[in-house]
Amino acid sequence: MRIIVDTNVLMSAILFGGTPARILQAWREATVGLVMSPGIIDEYVQVAERLSARYPGVDVQRILALIVQNAEVVHGSPLPVPVCEDPDDDKFLACAVAANVEVIVSGDKKLRAVSGYAGIRVVTPRQFVDEST
């Protein structure tokens, strides 16, 4: 199964473990494939740079580089009209549409509120782990 992981989930997985880390573990075991776009990668990098200063004991940028290097990167068009209340979240839906991905894993309530758009489910990390095990 191929999935898109929202920034908050990915950073939580890298820094704190728990349920989000189980998603990265599934990726390492090739149970799931991570899909991202250049816009998503840019957001990951910006957030990783900010968090690196707060968590100097974790090499967030190096871990992120490894993930990006081994993920599927798709280039798609922006959505024709805004869908999410937060326009920054539209890039996750646009990536899902371009890559024909059916699941986005996100802790963002505003992104989860548009679950069902174009047949894309937006689920919490807990929902994803519970459904995939």
Tens-digit pLDDT profile for residues 58-91? 999 999 999 999 999 999 899 999 999 999 999 9
Give the pTM: 0.96
Has domain 2-132 been given CATH number 3.30.565.10? Answer: no
- Of 11, 16, 31, the closest CA to residue 128 belongs to 31
Stretches in the chain below the pLDDT threshold 70:
none
Supply the DSSP string of 86-125, one letter for each residue. SGGGHHHHHHHHHHT--EEE---HHHHTTTTGGG-EEE-H
Q: Quick one: what percent of the chain has pLDDT higher than 90?
A: 93
pLDDT at residue number 33: 97
